[in-house]
Amino acid sequence: MSISLPETFAKLPRYPLLYPHPSPIHPLPTLTKHLTPNPRSNPVISLFAKREDHSSPLACAGNKYRKLEYIVPDILTNSSPNGPGSTTGPTPTTTTLVTEGAIQSNHTVQVASVARQLGLEAIIILHKATGGGLTASTDPTAFLRTGNVQIARLLGAEVRMLEDSSTVDSDDRITPILEELRARGSVPYWIPSGASLHPLGGLGYARAAFEIAAQEEELLGEDGRFDYVFVACGSGSTVGGLIAGFKLLQKVEAPTRLDGRVVRRKVIGILTSPTKPREFHEGRVLGFARRAARLIGLDPERDVTPDDVCLDDRFVGTAYGVLDSESKHMLALMAQHEGVIVDPVYTAKVMRGVVHWLQEGELIKDWRQQHFNISSSQSRVNVLFIHTGGQTALSAYADI
């Protein structure tokens, strides 16, 4: 399947890390029936999953590889500053990728895998106090050495674990590590946690929006589309990139207008951490969406508005990385109804959101507000859950 991008977007450098074919989208018929037992209901709801955990041949496939595809060309040219404490201007060739995350970070594993692919070294910095996964673990020793930590080491990454302090700025923790590397002759390339703060971090999921649109036609027919796209919102650029991509799609495809309004694909970001209030994340995602929008040829202020950002903070649980009873139930529900394994940190919470929106009638209420004049006999709502990977962390959660 070829993905056709507008010229400005298509010219942006990209290094392929994914399979040459799109990550699959498949229906979730058993879960759909379980959640919507009345087949004659109006509108009819159909659930689908986009399997980003099947997107790449590299280790622990997931959403970060899409982001890294647009960052790798910059790594290879080393044209951006190399993290806190660095200077601008020409620099030698990168020798070492450096990134950070929570103990069971998916992002750090994917960066380590990309380093192997590029013939570079990798140093991943894991913060013990980020979130509550370690504190809540019934086996802290295993939590520190299994799951993604084990895989990162297997990939040859140097793993450094730091004791976080809320009084210490992140740059103050990272700068000495980067300076140490430079002092011994290495050339580090700094990738912020989740790749979201990187200037190119949103481009991968802007492109994913076009991939989803191409798959829609095959799965749903010429006039079909996914009305709702549910995805985890952690660091934020996955959601922001999708928003920017779908806004660009509205400009290049013939929009469906109902009573003079454009019917759009609505991205719903399910927040996965209670550390910051929803308003903080809304501003952050809007900024990421506008940054990506500018790079792909949109007018960021005019084309991307606060109304495009929809985040739900009701499923964050007690702390980032803590597997609460509701998320544990969702792991079992997905496994036993669809044979699909979700992860304990992100996608279990996303599916909690999907289930809530369906069972509480919120999705239908929202859909009817936008589609109030469609004939009920033709009504159908297509819901896409984006599975961003992360199952490799499961072995660290010993009480599952």
Instruction: Please state, in angstroms and rounded to a whole number, the distance separating the CA atoms of residues 390 and 400.
Output: 15
The owner of tokens 């802007």 is 206
For residue 208, give the nearest of 189, 185, 186, 231 by alpha carbon.
231
Catalytic, out of 105, 137, 237, 327: 105
* DSSP-derived 3-state class of residue 99: strand
Kindly state the tokens that stand for 204. 């991968």
Residue 386 in contact with residue 66, Cβ under 8 Å? no
Cα 137–281–328 angle (5° rounding)? Answer: 30
Kindly state the tokens that stand for 78. 């080393």
* DSSP-derived 3-state class of residue 306: helix
Q: What is the DSSP letter of 398?
A: T
Q: What is the DSSP letter of 195?
A: G
CB contact set of 19 (below 8 Å; sequence gap of 6+): 55, 56, 57
Q: How far is CA 79 from the centre of its chain?
A: 25
Kindly state the tokens that stand for 241. 């990139």
Residue 126 in contact with residue 396, Cβ under 8 Å? no
Bridge partners of residue 101, in order along the sequence = 126
For residue 364, give the nearest of 247, 229, 228 by alpha carbon.
228
* DSSP-derived 3-state class of residue 287: helix
105 is catalytic: yes
Orientation angle between helical segments 203-220 and 237-252, nearest 10 degrees: 60
Cα 201–62–46 angle (5° rounding)? Answer: 105
Residues annotated as catalytic are 105
